[in-house]
Structure 1
Amino acid sequence: MHYFERLGASSFRATGHTQGAWNTAEQHIAPSIGLLAHAVEQHRDHRRDDRLPLARLSYDILGTVPVADVDVDVRVIRPGRSIELVEATLSHAGRDVLVLRAWLMRRFDTAQLAGSGSAPIPGPAGIPAWNMSGLWRGGFIASAEVRRVEHGLGRATAWVRTDIGLVAGEAVSPAAATIGLLDIANGLAVRADPAKVVFPNIDLTAHLFAEPRGGWVGFDTTVSFGPGGLGLTESVIHDETGPIGSTSQILTVRPAQ
């Protein structure tokens, strides 16, 4: 089972596991976020042999996309020996849907300096299972195994993993697999009933200070709504070693039609 099938060098077919939570005829953007990270890594590995890790990923969601065929384009914006900026675009039927700008940065040995002021969260074994499909629709949410503790309105800690592959028949790095789950954060700590209020995100920015190891992805998530139709979902991201980065998602908040 997988989220995408490769059709050609830069074209893919989305499967039913990409179905969205707001509208099941549209894709949940999370798998496409992972697909663009995977495409950037593949493009990198065709150009160089030092595997520069993904450090900052900034995605802009330009529109919805059906569960259908998509195309991916990758180009280097700012080349460099130790730091480079790469742009990747996902399109459907000639219309751009998702744009990523990713900074890749050279590794240095800073093991003696490693640490974080972000508090660790309890591991997945210590958090109860949560049926996320009881609140959210779609094939993507159904494909995720979720453990969650809710701490109050708009506050939760959770662990998420999936046994669905990103692209059929292709090896995918732990980083790309992890990045493909990050957009689930906006559904983990809801402030309002999604049947009455819609609050989709129009972007996702991730900063990673350690390379993801794959498997369970931890979220320490806070959701805020402002008085004028804007919202923000912020998460400290973990793997089972502890905090590894953060994400933010700006939301458009409005009554459901």
Structure 2
Amino acid sequence: MAYFERTGETTFRPTEHVSGAWNTAEQHIAPALGLLAHAVELDHDARRGDLVIGRLSYDILGKLPVEEVEVEVNLTRPGRTIELVEAVLEHRGRPAVLLRAWLMQPNDSPDLQATPLASIPPPEAMPAWSPTTVWPGGFIASVEVRRAQAEPGRAAFWVRTPLPLIRDEQVSQVASTAGLLDIANGMTVRVSPREVAFPNLDLTAHLFTEPRGDWVGFDTSVTFGPSGIGLTTSVLHDAHGPIGTSSQILSIRPLLRS
């Protein structure tokens, strides 16, 4: 099984493993983000194939049922060493997710490599944790998580999945990683999602190196502000150390109790 099955040149059908955490009749947006990154890479490889993704900036426009979707990619800003590419994921003609991706020319800079970002312990040093104790849905059930939680809203954790993003289709490590990034907002909740809803409206990831390996690491902090707005921020890791950052703006909505 996989998260999506290709049904046409630009169309994809989600499987049951895409069902969401807030509502199991809707898609968890994480696999869709990976699908858009994959579409951007396919478009780029068909045109030239010499640039790499440095930024993925997604806007989530609304809920997405577990039904067939279509992806369109357009080159917004062509260039010799950088490109800005836009992609949209649609359901029945309605845009559901927008992506603006910067692609950049890689250069050799091993002598300059350095970061003050701290590494997190490896997966084998963290206890296994099942996110199904907090969240329902096929996507959450499909992943393996190892987590060291300091307090609600603050944790380091690793995530991987045995499922490919698209059935019988080669997908890059960047796109596979992008398909897991949106999970960050639910892995160290400040309050139970049965008491407060806190969906994210966007996700922006900056990558200063391409990820390697199956595990994606997160050093994550969740902040709730005083006026219904929150923020989830993560330093992203692979087995070799930090690889970038991601952020998600949150809409905090206390749920009515009967």
Same fold (TM over 0.5): yes
Q: Distance in 2 between matches of 1:121 and 1:204?
A: 22
Counterpart for residue 46 of structure 1: 46
Tell me whether 1:159 sits opposite 2:167 in the alignment.
no
Taking the aligned partners of 1:12 and 1:225, their CA distance within structure 2 comes to 35
Cα distance in structure 1, aligned partners of 2:213 and 2:86? 24
Q: Percent sequence identity over matched residues?
A: 61
User: Does the CA-based 8 Å contact 1:175-1:214 persist in structure 2?
Assistant: no
In the other structure, the counterpart of 1:79 is 78
Which whole-Å deviations, capped at 9, do the CAs of 1:143-188 have from their partners, x for residues lacking one?
A: 1000001101210000000011101110000110011100000011
CA RMSD of aligned residues (A): 0.6
Aligned to 2:209: 210
User: Secondary structure of 2:69's match?
Assistant: strand
Amino acid across the alignment from 1:70: V
1:56-86 CA-partner distances (Å, limit 9, x unpaired): 1100000011001000000000001110000
TM-score by length of 2: 0.98
User: Contact 1:3 / 1:164 at 8 angstroms: preserved in 2?
Assistant: yes
1:118 aligns with 2:120: no
Q: Which residue of 2 aligns with 1:173?
A: 172
Letter in 1 for 2:211: P
Say whether residues 1:69 and 2:102 are aligned partners.
no
After TM superposition, what 4+ stretches of structure 1 lie above 4 angstroms from structure 2?
A: none
Residue of structure 1 equivalent to 2:32: 32
Query: Does the 8 A contact of 2:222 with 2:232 survive in 1?
Result: yes
Return 5+ residue gaps in structure 1 as ranges. Answer: none
How far does the alpha carbon of each residue in 1:63-118 deviate from its partner, in whole angstroms, 9 at most, with x for none?
A: 01100100000000000111000000000011000000000000100111112111
Shift in Å at residue 49 of structure 1?
3.1
TM-score with structure 1 setting the length = 0.99
> Is the contact between residue 213 and residue 239 of structure 2 (CA under 8 Å) also seen in structure 1?
no
Contact 1:178 1:214 in 2 (8 A): no
Give the Cα separation in 1 of the matches to 2:251 and 2:62.
13
Which residue does the alignment assign to 2:16?
16
Letter in 1 for 2:39: A
In the alignment, the residues of structure 1 paired with residue 114 and residue 181 of structure 2 have an alpha-carbon distance, to the nearest angstrom, of 22
2-structure distance, mates of 1:77, 1:26 = 30
